[in-house]
Amino acid sequence: MNIVCLCPEDSSWIMLPPYASAFRKRGVEIHFLDWSIPLDSSLEALLFRLSFTPDYLFFPECAFPLLPEGILQSQIPTIRLDVDTYAFTRRRIRWASLFDHVAVCHPGFDVRFRERTPHPSTLVLPHAVHREFFDLPEVPREFDFGWVGQTSGPIYQRRAAWLPRLASTFSTNDWSRFYNLQEVAEVYRRSRIVANIGRDDFPQDANLRVFEALASGALLITALPSELTSLGLVPGTHFVGYHHESELPALLRRCLDNEYSRSRIAEAGKTADLREHTYDNRVDTLLRHLQQFGPQKLAPASRWPDSRRRLMLLDYYSGHGLLSCAKSQFRRLAGCSLRGTLEGAALLARVWMKQFRTARLKV
């Protein structure tokens, strides 16, 4: 099987390298583009560069939002990996209609996608861990708790407020610096506890960090409710939960003092995580799903009238700030229908105004 990923491998340094490794271990050839590819490239031009016809085209959410013209007319099935599904969900559901298979990172959103698109091929592929970074001999656990993650911005105010308080009481790593994937694993493997404080707007997020924490053998402490429970992980068995950050100082102290209970829960979490939540697991799930459907073209938008398809493409381009691509679709859409022209003009005006305001702020 040959899969072409329509982005550079380093356009999502967290996710794509371990996915690529897992694909290759299963005999799947995965190929990436480079950063020189223009975002207004046609699919025909991209395929002309290849010496083979791919079996699938893979579109992970990343910093390279390429969606080439001709994608809906192609006979090559497409796969979308939607990562931050909880943000701008309605728009993401609309964009799902452009792809044959849609994988979402957050449990429960697959149901919403199927109900609202409706889309016949949607599945859950949660965040995962790169087993090779964690399935290693134990090292001394020198930190009371470990922390890696952003603390700046309006959606991280709670963690920005609480991390300095915790760090003033408990020993920890330098939580203000950036860590790459392997360094994150090293910090967590040297920690007794990993305390997770999620986004203010989505605190139940089963983000990448909670899976890394579990895999490291540290005790994960995270907010309840949590998406982890939808994935079969149980509070008190695989991790420890809290309901408000004010509980954290006493909870950390209690868990540090009870080494037996802490180690038992941490070991159960690590075992479950490395058994069920690695990138190898995710690729196996995806390949089984693709085998079930075969080479069918399932994108709902492929069966729509041309004007409706172009409006959806325009919506995608405007949502990603691709003004030139959005203009191109609008030129082909304008005049086909009054409603489509008005909706397209509104989308185009929105992205133009956003770029205008951004340019003014830079002056």
226-237: pLDDT as tens digits:
999 999 999 999
- pLDDT tens digits, one per residue of 93-123: 999 999 999 999 999 999 999 888 888 899 9
Please give the structure tokens belonging to residue 297: 């073209």
Q: What value does the mean pLDDT take over residues 119-132?
A: 95
User: Ramachandran region of residue 164, left (φ > 0), alpha (ψ -120 to 50) or beta?
Assistant: alpha
Is 102 in a helix, a strand, or coil? strand
Q: How far apart are CA 236 and CA 345, in angstroms?
A: 53
**Among all chains, which residue has been given the structure tokens 């390949």?**
287
Is 1 in a helix, a strand, or coil? coil
Tally of residues, the chain: 363
What are 2's strand-pairing partners? 29
- Work out the mean pLDDT of the chain and round it to a whole number: 93
**Among all chains, which residue has been given the structure tokens 């920890």?**
172
Q: Which of these, 87, 97, 88, 90, lies nearest to 67 by C-alpha position?
A: 97
**Where residue 78 falls among pLDDT bands split at 50, 70, 90?**
very high
The predicted pLDDT at position 64 comes to 95
**Among all chains, which residue has been given the structure tokens 């983000």?**
207
* DSSP H stretches of helix in the chain: 16-25, 43-48, 89-96, 109-116, 157-169, 181-189, 208-216, 248-257, 259-276, 279-293, 306-319, 323-333, 338-362
Rounded to two decimals, the pTM is 0.92
Buried b / exposed e along 277-287 (16+ C-beta atoms within 10 A): bbbbbbbebbe
CA dihedral over 252, 257, 261, 262, signed as positive or negative: positive
Angle made by CA atoms 311, 312, 313, in degrees to the nearest 5: 90
**Where residue 358 falls among pLDDT bands split at 50, 70, 90?**
low
The predicted pLDDT at position 246 comes to 96
The predicted pLDDT at position 121 comes to 94
Strand residue runs (E) in 7-100: 29-32, 56-60, 78-82
Is 351 in a helix, a strand, or coil? helix
- pLDDT tens digits, one per residue of 304-328: 998 899 999 999 999 998 988 888 8
The predicted pLDDT at position 356 comes to 60
Q: How far is CA 84 from CA 208, 221, 279, in A?
A: 11, 22, 17
